[in-house]
């Protein structure tokens, strides 16, 4: 798969309107990016930890401070406790609010 085709598929997946989080997934807010594709995030309860960005998002999706993410927990991690599964855009946030999941 060429780089342009891969970027197209990643962006199309990101722009889907409907988001349905799984039972273990959590919504977090980005606090900063210390480097090496890691992002410091905070849950609604106030817990802070690091989340890793999977290779499919690297070089295609940019994450900045204040963005919201959907993350999957990692059991064996001591510092990195989650992996990013989706970057939530404003339409995703509105969809979650309408569903009562926000």
| Dist CA 16 CA 42 (whole Å) | 24
> Please, are residues 30 and 40 in contact by the beta-carbon 8 Å criterion?
yes
CATH superfamily of 3-99: Nucleic acid-binding proteins (2.40.50.140)
pLDDT single digits (tens) 23-77: 899 999 999 999 999 999 999 999 999 999 999 888 878 899 999 999 999 998 7
What single DSSP character describes residue 89?
P
Task: Grade residue 8 by pLDDT with cuts at 50, 70 and 90.
Answer: low
What is the pLDDT, as a whole number, of residue 6?
65
> Please, are residues 39 and 30 in contact by the beta-carbon 8 Å criterion?
yes
pTM: 0.82
| Dist CA 2 CA 76 (whole Å) | 33
pLDDT single digits (tens) 14-26: 666 567 888 899 9
Q: Helix, strand, or coil here: 43?
A: coil
Task: Grade residue 102 by pLDDT with cuts at 50, 70 and 90.
Answer: confident
């Amino acid at each position: 798969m060429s780089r342009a085709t891969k970027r197209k598929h990643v962006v199309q997946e990101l722009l889907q309107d409907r988001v349905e989080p799984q039972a273990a997934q959590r919504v977090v807010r980005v606090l900063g990016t210390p480097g090496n594709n890691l992002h410091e995030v905070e849950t609604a309860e106030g817990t802070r930890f690091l989340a890793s960005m999977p290779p499919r998002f690297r070089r295609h999706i940019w994450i900045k401070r204040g963005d919201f993410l959907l993350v999957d927990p990692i059991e064996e991690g001591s510092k990195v406790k989650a992996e990013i599964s989706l970057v939530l855009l404003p339409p995703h946030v509105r969809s979650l609010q309408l569903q009562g999941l926000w």
